[in-house]
């Protein structure tokens, strides 16, 4: 985790939509899309952006939202284009509300993972957290995708309200040999899901993973410490919990990777660091979703202009460095 002059090759997040049928209490209003849109970018422009990203050396792609499977045809068009380019390092992030309906279609594409969010197996608590009574459909999607043999990982955002539910979800994952990643609660300064201020909500609900470690080590032994490809992002504890299943803990208190562009950010050092660039649903390219001042809308832009933007945006990842002590965020 030493400083390095080697540039980070970021992942490219394609945010299909800002719409989501779940309103999770810890999530910013428009999810990873981060903003409301005046209309979706034409799919041909999305596919062209993918081709330009690949031409500029990006090999890791993430499909997200909002909830991308609200628009399954757009998702399938994106998957098709990525596979035509020979790309298989693809992760589809979904809340699983309807994925069981499209399992066979998804099976036609090469992806690295389909990630489904699951924060509790308690139906009433699921409804409280997500503001939607869809737990049964989410479980149906998980089991359908697992049965089809598609690569699957669950995402669980852990906070005080659902911290005890982890053990039941862990047993579920062990039973079905499904991998799971735990995510700690991220501080968002524009959270508007409740009447509390964002800082009060974060301070009240933040749960430290260190509370899990003694029992996890007793059951599974010492974890490995892993990071994203190209040494991006936050170090993560990894445990083997089944024949193929992995438990991974993404703990923001362990620090993260940043780059020169971060030094001028009002949020620096933030909880997540710098590891991907994104394309919003309406066409804004940015090196970081917190940096709304560093965007270009590619709608009606020439390919030459878009290629220059990709080149300059990727250069934002030059001179990466790691900061270990971010335990005091966001205060």
* Tokens 């209003």 belong to residue: 29
* Inter-residue contact 201 to 209 (CB < 8 Å): no
For the segment 186-200, the average pLDDT, to the nearest whole number, is 74
Question: DSSP string covering 133-161, please?
Answer: --HHHHHHHHHHHHHTT--EEEEEEE-GG
Give me the pLDDT at residue 1, please: 41
Give the percent of the chain with pLDDT over 70: 92
Q: DSSP secondary-structure letter at 52?
A: H
Instruction: List all residues 6 or more positions away from 147 whose beta carbon is below 8 Å from its beta carbon.
Output: none
Give me the pLDDT at residue 2, please: 40
Beta strands at 276-279 and 256-258: parallel, antiparallel or unpaired: unpaired
Domains in the chain (CATH in brackets) are 11-323 (3.20.20.70)
CA distances from 159 to 116, 129, 162, 171 (A): 18, 11, 6, 19
Instruction: Convert the pLDDT of each residue in 265-311 to its tens digit.
Output: 888 888 888 888 999 999 999 888 788 788 888 888 889 988 988 88
Which of 70-84, 103-117, 170-184, 217-231 has the least mean pLDDT?
217-231
The pLDDT of residue 6 is above 80: no
Reduced DSSP (H G I as helix, E B as strand, rest coil) percent helix, strand, coil of the chain, to 5 = 35, 20, 45
Instruction: Convert the pLDDT of each residue in 216-273 to its tens digit.
Output: 999 999 999 998 766 778 899 999 999 999 999 999 888 898 988 888 888 888 888 8
CA–centroid distance for 84 within its chain: 24
In b/e form, how buried is each residue of 189-218, taking b as 16+ CB within 10 angstroms? eebebeeeebeebbeebbbebeebeeebee
The pLDDT of residue 327 is above 70: no
Residue 186 three-state SS:
coil
178 vs 284, higher pLDDT = 178
pTM of the model: 0.93
């Amino acid at each position: 985790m030493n400083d390095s002059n080697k540039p980070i090759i970021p992942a490219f997040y394609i945010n299909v939509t800002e719409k989501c049928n779940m309103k999770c209490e810890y999530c910013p209003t428009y999810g990873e899309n981060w903003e409301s849109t005046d209309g979706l970018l034409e799919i041909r422009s999305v596919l062209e952006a993918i081709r330009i990203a690949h031409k500029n050396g990006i090999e890791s792609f993430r499909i997200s939202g909002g909830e991308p499977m609200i628009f399954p045809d757009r998702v399938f068009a994106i998957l098709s284009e990525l596979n035509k380019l020979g790309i298989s390092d693809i992760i589809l992030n979904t809340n699983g509300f309807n994925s069981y309906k499209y399992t066979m279609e998804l099976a036609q594409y090469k992806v690295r993972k389909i990630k489904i969010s699951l924060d509790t197996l308690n139906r009433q608590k699921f409804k409280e957290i997500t503001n939607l009574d869809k737990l049964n459909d989410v479980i149906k999607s998980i089991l359908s995708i697992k049965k089809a043999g598609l690569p699957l990982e669950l995402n669980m955002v852990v906070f005080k309200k659902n911290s005890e539910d982890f053990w039941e979800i862990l047993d579920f994952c062990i039973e079905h040999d499904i991998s799971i990643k735990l995510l700690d609660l991220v501080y968002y300064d524009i959270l508007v899901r409740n009447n509390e201020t964002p800082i009060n909500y974060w301070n009240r609900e933040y749960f430290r993973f260190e509370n899990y470690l003694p029992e996890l080590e007793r059951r599974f032994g010492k974890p490995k410490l892993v990071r994203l490809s190209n040494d991006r992002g936050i170090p993560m504890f990894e445990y083997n919990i089944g024949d193929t299943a992995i438990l991974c803990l993404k703990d923001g208190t362990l620090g993260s990777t940043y780059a020169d562009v971060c030094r001028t950010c009002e949020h620096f050092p933030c909880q997540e660091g710098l590891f991907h660039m994104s394309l919003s649903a309406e066409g804004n390219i940015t090196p970081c979703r917190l940096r709304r001042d560093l965007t270009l809308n590619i709608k009606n832009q020439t390919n030459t202009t878009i290629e220059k933007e990709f080149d300059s945006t990727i250069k934002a990842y030059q001179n990466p460095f790691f900061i270990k002590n971010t335990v005091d965020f966001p205060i």
